[in-house]
Amino acid sequence: MEEKKNLSQKEISRRSFLKGAGIASVGAVIATTASVDIKADTKNDSDVIGKNGISCEFDVNGKKYAQKVPPRTTLAELLREDLNLTGTKVVCDRGACGACTVIVDGKSVCSCMTLAIDSAGKKIETIEGLANGDELHPLQEAFVNHDALQCGFCTPGMVMSCKNLLDHNAQPTLPEVRKAVSGNLCRCGTYPHVFKAVMDVSGKKGE
């Protein structure tokens, strides 16, 4: 078994040696032949949206926006670039940090891993929609009072995850709060104050 393993591995690396490429795709740096085959928007197929996209209606924080979006546009890009709602942050751009968290149809999602086109017609809530004019949402108020933020870059996503929790569970336990923000990374290490803020708000709700 052991010997066979060695053989097969050796065989593979020998072939790679003959190809003369340690990391074969370094060649990709030298030149790319990726001729992007830009087809005309395939409108003949009624189900298929072309690369240039279509005009959609978005409901963000109760406000309607008409916007043309190419399919590849993420919800985060739509919010930040097209609608100028820059409260939603993009940090890892891969769904690992939660900075881009928004609520779509009552569920928290990473807007960096959600296509804008999929959110058309749905109810999108972002950090900008929480306060009522000058009056902060109780959760936002608790974040400020408990100093549940430092540099503030994770804060919009963190607040949205907590809001999503409280929307579904008005009086969470501490472990539930911890779990609810387990997809939100804070590099300043502000979690203990986030826990306090959420517990504080839920306490008020219970009164």
Partner 1 sequence: MNSFEYAMPKRTADVFRALESSDSIIKAGGIDVLDLIKEGIAHPQRLVNINSIDELKYIEGNQTTGVKIGPGTTLAELASSEVLSGSYRALAQAAGSTATPQIRNSATLGGSLCQRPRCWYFRNKDYHCTRKGGFTCFAVNGENENHAIFENDFGCVMVHPSTTAVALIALGAKLTIASAKSSREILVEDFFVTPRENMHRENILEQGEIITAIHLPPAAKNMVSYYYKQKAKQSFDWPIAEVAVSMQLDGKKCQNPRVALGAAAPVPMRSKEAESALNNQEVTIDIAASVGKEAMKKATPLSQNKYKVHIFQAVIKRTVCWASDIDPFA
Partner 2 sequence: MAKEVKLHIGVENDLEEIKVTIPDDSPKPWDGKDKLKFVGGKTPRLDGKEKVTGNAKYTFDMKLSGTLHAKFFRLPCPSAVVTKIDTSAAEKAPGVKGIVLVQETLPLTVRYADQELLAIAAETAHQVDEALKLVKVEYEKRPFVVDLAGAQKSDAPEVFQGKFERDKEVGQIEVDEDNAGQRRGNVRAPQDYTKGGTKEEIEQFIEKSEFSVSATYQTQVQTHSALETHGVVANWEGDHLTVWASTQGTFSVLGELAQVLKIPQTNVRVITDYMGGGFGAKFGAGPFGIAAAKLAKKTGRPVKLMFSRREEHVSGGNRPSSMQTLKIATNKSGKLEALSLVSRGSAGISTGAGTSAPAKGIYECPKIYTQDADVFTNAGPSKAFRAPGHPQGIFALEQSIDDLAYKIGMDPLEFRKINTMNHDVRQKEYQIGAEKFAWHKRNPKVNADKGPIKTGMGMANSVWYYFYGVGYQATIKVNGDGSVELLNGTQDIGTGSRTAMAVVAAEELGLKPHDIVVRIGDTKLGFGPPSGGSQTTAGITPAVRDAAYLAKNKMLEIAATHLNATAQELDIRDGVIFVTSDPTRKLSWKKVASKIPGGTFSVMGERKKDHIDIKGAPAVHFLGRNFYTIGGMQFAEVEVDTETGVIKVKRILAIHDCGRPINRLTLQSQLNGGIIQGVSYALFEQRVIDRNHGLQVNPNLEQYKIAGSMDIPEIETIVLDTNRGNSSTGAQGIGEPATAPVAAAIANAVYHAIGVRIRDLPMTPAKVLEALHS
The distance of closest approach from Cβ of residue 44 to partner 2 in the complex, given in angstroms and rounded to an integer, is 26
Give the whole-angstrom CA distance, residue 113 versus residue 203: 33
Tell me 111's DSSP state.
G
Q: Which does 170 bind (CB under 5 to 8 A by kind): partner 2, partner 1, none?
A: none
Residue 85 binding result from partner 1, partner 2, none, given CB thresholds of 5 to 8 Å by partner type: partner 2
The region of 45-53, 95-103, 113-121, 163-171 touching partner 2 under the rule CB under 8 A is 95-103
48: left (phi over 0), alpha (psi -120 to 50) or beta: beta
Q: Does 175 bind partner 1 (CB under 8 A)?
A: no
9 or 121: CB nearest partner 2: 9
Strand order in the sheet with 123-125: 63-69, 54-60, 123-125, 101-104, 107-110
Minimum Å gap between C-beta 4 and partner 2 is: 23
Nearest Cα to Cα of residue 127 among 105, 158, 167: 158
Q: Within a 10 A sphere around the Cβ of 28, how many other Cβ atoms?
A: 11
What is the rounded distance in angstroms from the CA atom of residue 102 to the CA atom of residue 124? Answer: 7
Whole-number Å distance between alpha carbons of 140 and 198: 10
| Contacts (CB under 8 A) with partner 2, residues 99-118 | 99
Map residues 120-159 to x or -, x wherever contact with partner 1 holds by CB under 8 A.
Answer: ----------------------------------------
Positions touching partner 2 (CB under 8 A) are 22-23, 26, 29-32, 34, 36, 80, 84-94, 96-97, 99, 126-128, 130-131, 136, 140, 143-145, 147, 149-156, 159, 177-179, 181-195
